[in-house]
Amino acid sequence: MNSLSIATSLGLLLGLTAWPALAQEADPERGKAAAAVCGTCHQPDGSGRHVADGESWPRLSGLNAGYIANQLHDYKEGRRRNASMQPFANMLDDQQIVDVAAYYAKLPVTDGQGGDEADEAQLARGEQLALRGDWNAYIVSCKSCHGPGNEGVGSTFPGIAGQHAGYIEKQLLAWQAGERDNDAQNLMGAIAKRMNDEDIRAVAVWLSRQPVASE
């Protein structure tokens, strides 16, 4: 008997409903159907939208599937809080979460928005923070965790290059204010709190302008 069937028998013995791990093979096709409701904001192609002076909807296309799934679980379980997102996350069961995540992860990456009007000084500061950091303020570069090209590392550190400026800015501000804290070991929170509003704006616009190649 392999460990999976042991787990199944154990689950049956204990009168549990189906062991979630059993049903977690991701199916992007099923995900597409389950994601129909997501498209209203995140768009059918997963491109999301930069909304100036409002709540931007992040691009999901091409993000790491594990990262998307983790965020959905965090919304459901209250570790990440957002009034618009929470009810939708609650509509998804564990299976739908892995399916939806797999679906968006496979979609071709679209361009980041919201960086068109950035000025040169802002872009220079943004590039510095993204690629080299500002150690005088102990701001570690984005790249040191989000990876070469800031395209993400595993399911822990999401791709941030080519993400909408409005979304990045809002998230960093949320970390700074303690409104978002679902990062591992406060790795992002600690750094966000050392950034000022101009830093956050600069890095958000610079990142939004960085092209990302689809897998």
Partner 1 sequence: MTIRRKTMALAGATLVAGISLAALAEYETLVELGYPAPREGELVHVPPTMQDLDEADIHPELKQVIRRGHDLFTNTQQLRGENVFNDMNCSSCHLGEGRLPFSGPVWPAAVTLPDFRGKNQHVNSLEERLAGCFAYSMNGAPPAYGSDDMLALSAYHQWLAKGVPMYPDQPIYGRGFPRLDEPEQAPDYARGEQVYLEQCAICHSKDGSGHYQDGKYVFPSPWGDGSNNWGAGISRTFTMASFIKYNMPLGQPMSLTDQEAWDVAYYINSQERPQDPRYTGDVRETRERFEATFHKHTLYGTERQHDGTLLGDHANMGEKKEMLPWNLGVPRFEDLKD
CA 205 vs. chain centroid, Å, equals 17
Three-state SS for 65? Answer: helix
In terms of Cα–Cα distance, which of 176, 197, 59 is closest to 129? 197
| Nearer to partner 1 (CB atom), residue 36 or residue 184 | 184
Q: Answer yes or no: is 142 a known binding residue.
A: yes
Q: Answer yes or no: is 91 a known binding residue.
A: no
| Nearer to partner 1 (CB atom), residue 89 or residue 195 | 195
Q: Could you tell me the two tokens for 15?
A: 């009168």
| Residues engaged in binding partner 1 (CB under 8 A) | 132-138, 140, 144-145, 147-148, 151-154, 156, 184-187, 190-191, 193-197
| Nearer to partner 1 (CB atom), residue 181 or residue 197 | 197
CA 115 vs. chain centroid, Å, equals 19
Q: How far is the CB of 34 from partner 1 (least distance, A)?
A: 28
In terms of Cα–Cα distance, which of 69, 51, 47 is closest to 60? 47
Rounded CA-CA distance 215/147 in Å is 15
Q: Answer yes or no: is 164 a known binding residue.
A: no
Q: How far is the CB of 13 from partner 1 (least distance, A)?
A: 31
Largest Cα–Cα separation, the chain: 65
Q: Answer yes or no: is 85 a known binding residue.
A: yes
| Nearer to partner 1 (CB atom), residue 31 or residue 126 | 126
Our separate counts of H helices and E strands in the chain read 11, 0
- Phi then psi for 198, rounded to 5 degrees? -65, -40
Q: How far is the CB of 12 from partner 1 (least distance, A)?
A: 32
| Nearer to partner 1 (CB atom), residue 36 or residue 190 | 190
Q: How far is the CB of 30 from partner 1 (least distance, A)?
A: 28
Binding residues for heme c: 38, 41-42, 85, 142, 145-146, 188
Binding residues: 38, 41-42, 85, 142, 145-146, 188
